Amino acid sequence: MKTSRYVIYLTLGCLLGAAVPAHATEVLQNGGAVQWAESHSSWYLRGDISYNFNGRQESGFDYDGGSGDLFTFDYEDAIGISAGFGQYITENLRWDVTLEYVLEASEDNTNSVLFDGVDENLMAYVKVDGDEVIETSTSITNVMGNAYFDLGRFGAFTPYAGVGLGVANIRSSEKRTHICNPTPNIYCLIPPGGTGEQATEVVVDEERDAWVMSYGFTAGASVDIGPNTKLDFAYQYLNIGDGPKIGGESNVDGLTTHRIKAGLRWDL
């Protein structure tokens, strides 16, 4: 988690360092007041990084003859990068299209389970303690169209609100390993293993992908930092639809994430 935050701080520093000096010579002095050169086009380009936190998905499982019980995966925080272009429609209304790749987020879980075994001394079937280790990862490529309403200009600051609708590709992988821990007098049946020897069996090891709908809500503000250049900060809630089925057991019923975004916008 700390490493992700350091990456964000470093990147923001680089963005500011690259943007301000590049345009410093174009600042116009007028009676001691600083004025930036105005844009001559309604189009703009943008580039952003995002810090994705509280990522969560719900999945259904087919245990006990199809119980359909639900459980929740909480994903590690992840960094995303995006680029896009847009256009100012009116003084307060604009739109853009962005292509984003959210770097892979993963989550590991271990559940205690009981396996079938045999007690050699009693010559009887018994239950043997063990674990089910679940290793999952998810990466997202998201193409989204966004509409924004600028709430007014307050000096160099322009707060705004926006909504977005798009299509996302979810690539998910899952690995499930059963680990049975027998005693010196007991051996495991499934997974098979001798007495006193840990028995390990990989029961699922798959990767799938699917295209799904996505939508988001955004609130943020831009800051003029140079001629035709704005520094953009925003919070976004992103919701992505049902994802691919893994291993014949689990299915992503929905994935949501909260995001802090920062980037640059260049008016053409």
**What tens digit of pLDDT does each residue of 217-267 get?**
999 999 999 889 999 999 999 888 766 655 444 455 567 788 899 999 999
Closest to 62 (Cα-Cα) out of 181, 199, 239, 204: 204
Residue in the structure block whose two tokens are 């847009």: 86
CATH assignment of the domain containing 65: 2.40.160.20
Looking at residue 245, its pLDDT comes to: 55
Q: Are 105 and 137 in contact (CB under 8 A)?
A: yes
Q: Would you say residue 196 has pLDDT above 60?
A: yes
Residues 6+ apart with CB under 8 A from 140: 80, 100, 101, 102, 168, 169, 170, 171, 240, 255
Q: Quote the Cα angle for 111-130-199, to 5°.
A: 130
Residue 83 Cα to chain centre, angstroms: 16
Q: Would you say residue 23 has pLDDT above 80?
A: no
Distance CA 244, CA 198 (A): 33
CA atoms within 13 A on the CB side of 197: 9
CA distance to 26, 140, 250, per residue, from 102 (Å):
35, 5, 22
Q: Would you say residue 9 has pLDDT above 90?
A: no
Domain count, the chain: 1
Looking at residue 262, its pLDDT comes to: 96
Q: Would you say residue 27 has pLDDT above 50?
A: no
Distance CA 118, CA 120 (A): 6
Residue type, 11: T
Task: Residue 171: give the domain boundaries.
Answer: 2-267
pTM check: above 0.75: no
User: How many CB atoms within 10 Å of residue 263?
Assistant: 23
Query: With pLDDT > 90 as the criterion, what percentage of the chain qualifies?
Result: 36
Looking at residue 223, its pLDDT comes to: 96
As a whole number, mean pLDDT of residues 58-67 equals 41
What average pLDDT does the structure give for the chain? Answer: 77
Looking at residue 4, its pLDDT comes to: 42
Output 135 or 30, whichever has higher pLDDT: 135
The DSSP code sequence of 8-36 is: HHHHHHHHHHHHHHHHGGGPEEETTEEEP
Q: Would you say residue 11 has pLDDT above 70?
A: no
Looking at residue 25, its pLDDT comes to: 37
